[in-house]
Amino acid sequence: MTRPSEDDLIARYFAPLAISAGADGLNDDAAVVPPGEGDLVVTKDMVVAGVHFFPDDPPSSIVKKALRVNLSDLAAKGAKPAGFLLGLGLPPDWTEAFLEESARGLAQDIEVFDCPLLGGDTVKMPGPLTLSVTAFGYAPRIVRRRGARPGDIIAVTGTIGDGALGLAVRAAEREPAKAPAWVAGLDDRHRALLALRYMFPMPRVRAASAVAAFASASMDVSDGLAGDLAKLLKASGVGATAAIDDVPLSESARGALALDPSLIRTVLTGGDDYELLVTCPPDRFAAFASAVNAEGLDLTAIGRITAGEGLVISDRSGQAVDLGAGRFQHF
């Protein structure tokens, strides 16, 4: 089978996606980031087969996840997307069918998130499929992790735990014999919704303006709510209290917990949520929540920032819960 050369591959699958004038049709070795208002924000994340997605996941879900996890980081800084660079490391068994579906998926997200492809690089690798995205955005005010102050309200967008539970569902789809009992106990609709939350995370780009206007500190929840909150606290030099019962859960996650209450640890520490974790002075929180709600999203208070150090997460009886490291560990 004859495969296209690198130049042909770029011209056929990716140049049609590079619609920004700054990309110059991918005919050069560099691009100009489109102009925007505010500070330029840059983020970079990689996804690797067997680590961040299953090798047999649909190509559109793989490329969309690679882009969306970066857009989530931009949103957490209060930035709206301006464009991205794509690094694509193809394994020896790559196919044009993979590239065709990947290009279609990217085209959809480029339109949905108004985030043009500016350029990148494509290489053949001896190892697993690897995608690296560098995303650019503009923020009227960059919101760091380090801005939380005692008395601030801690809040999250959306629901927590769906991504981690969805990972278990997706794994069970691939190896039904190893499926935990709670997966089999869920109805088909809830299993499908959880798997979709894992495979197609939804970055909260629409909340970026509200974050820039109201948040004192912000980051996205990628490695687990408890662990990511601990990182925010460390950066800000503060402590916090939070209540498990206040953490917003989807109907699907509640169904899973009803079947196996021990899954609460997975919900709080598993990651892959890509929701926003924010803090805000109490006198501004109502306006913050209203601004987020106006974008069709929920913002739920789950705790308070305290003086000192450490995070205390309490159960329904008021007892502190030990969650260990509280997050996914890359190494």
- List all residues 6 or more positions away from 60 whose beta carbon is below 8 Å from its beta carbon: 101, 102, 104, 105, 108
Residues at the binding site for Mg(2+) are 29, 43, 45, 73, 121, 220, 223
Residues at the binding site for ATP are 120-121, 145, 222
Q: Is 114 left (phi over 0), alpha (psi -120 to 50) or beta?
A: left
Residue from 314, 327, 284, 297 nearest 153 by CA: 284
- List all residues 6 or more positions away from 111 whose beta carbon is below 8 Å from its beta carbon: none
Residues at the binding site are 29, 43, 45, 52, 73, 120-121, 145, 220, 222-223, 272, 328
CA dihedral (29, 34, 40, 44) positive or negative: negative
Q: Is 9 left (phi over 0), alpha (psi -120 to 50) or beta?
A: alpha
CA distance 272 to 163: 5
CA distance 315 to 244: 5
Residues at the binding site for substrate are 52, 272, 328
